[in-house]
Amino acid sequence: MAEEPLLRMEGICKSFHGVHALRGVRLDVRRGEVHSLVGENGAGKSTLMRILGGAVTLDEGTITLRGRGQVFRAPKDAEAAGVAMIHQELSLVPPMSVAENVFLGREPRTRLGFVDYAAMREHSEALLAELGTPCDVTRPAEAYSIATQQMVEVAKALGREADLIVMDEPTSALAEAEAERLFEVIRRLRGRGVSVVYISHKMEEIYAISDRVTVLRDGEWIGTAPVGELPQERLIEWMVGRKIEQLFPKHAAEPGAELLRVDGLCVDTADGSGRRAVDGASLTLRAGEIVGLAGLRGSGCSELLGALFGRYGRVAAGSVAIRGRPVSITRPAEAIANGIALLTNDRKTTGLVLSMSVLHNATLASLSRAGPPGCVLRDRELALAQPFMDMLSVRTASVDAEVSALSGGNQQKVALAKWLMTEPSVLLLDEPTRGIDVGAKAEIYELMNTLVAQGKGILLITSELPELLAMSDRILVMHRGRMTAELNRDEATQERIMAAAMEA
């Protein structure tokens, strides 16, 4: 090793209530390097980064930054040492202006002690321009897209002269083009000598952006290697500890009777502008079929599923028929009664009630069957839930544990259990594998195959095209609320989907 790395973490141990989260983990990051940190959920990535960010204190181990030993007791210690964290959930103050956000907590002062807005504006404009995202810094942060807000976070970090930036799944909320722009910025940062620790679940990203990769598994360090020397199969093997022969299992599609028919469905946008989020969408779904929905952000795919589920009340226009019978669904309860289930794309804000237990989340949509009318009996509830918990192999200390204590994959399984318990015939799955580890992904693919084999129909949205291509019998592509293409399994390619998704 020619030079001392910017950051060296060695022998890091941390346990919570006697459970080891990290055991002797190490990580070294060189100057001007993009270093990916990968591992399944629960592998210890987040804990390691929280230690680096000062949010959690370590039990054992050392942190050396620029050759000097560091003890971080609070986030401000880490910040002072030049470490910046950019989380999935952005830490901007939405109603404050971009400039104020960039300088939050260290506002420049005029000689009279007032906030020097002119300097603030000037500096933040310069920073953002440098990041290739020029914008009006006097507008509130919330006026901008997630992608721009992320750039504001980066600018904030640079403004603090951070030379180590940790990005935790920064692209999870970004469209492809936006993600591409982020990578551009990361490369630029690298050019400036800033190091980036990059956490992601997306293989392509890891290979596209990083110099080296460190893999954690079950709180232990597995290995560090330059990406060029680590083929994808090997990386997955490191992550899951076993060989995955095939990530996307094929399934035999034998479409049966028509389950769902949608004709000319229109949905207004929530902002009251009169624009259509979904504009005349039509589709059919047959039993035993997985139909993929593809589209960039704002294409209306999610809104289409939500409208089918009665999420937005009465739809603006169009008709829906289930097994040939026309239905009018204006409330989720009606959708459930009609055998429709909607797995939303964000389990934390719309999927689960995080403060409730695993059991109570799982039975929430089926309480009418958990006891005599109006009542819920624990025995009946357990009997109702147990088969689904087993089928999905939900890993939890107890069914009474708070669902928020589970890993992302297990949370998603609880959400799935909730919907399977309602015995739906049509499943609307919006990003069912977002933010979950490889092992859990495979289990969910397997489950989808089982479900269609039972004669259920699935409408699937996923932003990972390989997944979409592998799982879907047919793929419908949407652009700005309109259906722009319908592709059969054998004619669908990533290129054709992207082409249809980007131009009307």
Applying CB under 8 A, among 210, 214, 357, 472 the residue interacting with other proteins is 357
Q: Greatest CA separation found in the chain?
A: 77
- x/- letters, 242..281, toward other proteins (CB under 8 A): ----------------------------------------
Applying CB under 8 A, among 209, 259, 320, 365 the residue interacting with other proteins is 365
Q: Which is nearer to other proteins, 352 or 427 (CB)?
A: 352
Tokens representing 145 are 């897209």
- Cβ neighbours for 26, distance < 8 A, ≥ 6 positions apart: 8, 9, 10, 11, 12, 221
What stretch of H or E contains 327?
A: strand 325-327
Q: Check residue 350 for interaction with other proteins (CB under 8 A).
A: yes
Binding window for other proteins (CB under 8 A); candidates: 58-66, 164-172, 376-384, 459-467: 376-384
Phi first, then psi: what are they for 426, rounded to 5°? -120, 120
Q: Which is nearer to other proteins, 282 or 350 (CB)?
A: 350
Applying CB under 8 A, among 8, 217, 251, 311 the residue interacting with other proteins is 311
Applying CB under 8 A, among 63, 342, 458, 501 the residue interacting with other proteins is 342
Q: How many chain residues are in contact with other proteins, going by CB under 8 A?
A: 40
Query: What is the rounded distance in angstroms from the CA atom of residue 196 to the CA atom of residue 187?
Result: 10
Q: Check residue 13 for interaction with other proteins (CB under 8 A).
A: no
Tokens representing 79 are 């910040």
Q: Which is nearer to other proteins, 371 or 455 (CB)?
A: 371
Beta carbon of residue 335, minimum distance to other proteins (angstroms, whole number): 8
Beta carbon of residue 44, minimum distance to other proteins (angstroms, whole number): 18
Beta carbon of residue 422, minimum distance to other proteins (angstroms, whole number): 8
Residues 398-427 that bind other proteins (CB under 8 A): 398, 400, 402, 418, 422
Query: What is the rounded distance in angstroms from the CA atom of residue 196 to the CA atom of residue 265?
Result: 45
Residue type, 496: R
Binding window for other proteins (CB under 8 A); candidates: 136-144, 203-211, 272-280, 393-401: 393-401
Query: What is the rounded distance in angstroms from the CA atom of residue 397 to the CA atom of residue 402?
Result: 10
Q: Check residue 374 for interaction with other proteins (CB under 8 A).
A: yes
Query: What is the rounded distance in angstroms from the CA atom of residue 496 to the CA atom of residue 351?
Result: 32
Q: 3-state class of 283 per DSSP?
A: strand
Query: By C-alpha distance, which of 61, 52, 57 is closest to 7?
Result: 52
- Cβ neighbours for 386, distance < 8 A, ≥ 6 positions apart: none
Applying CB under 8 A, among 379, 490, 495, 503 the residue interacting with other proteins is 379
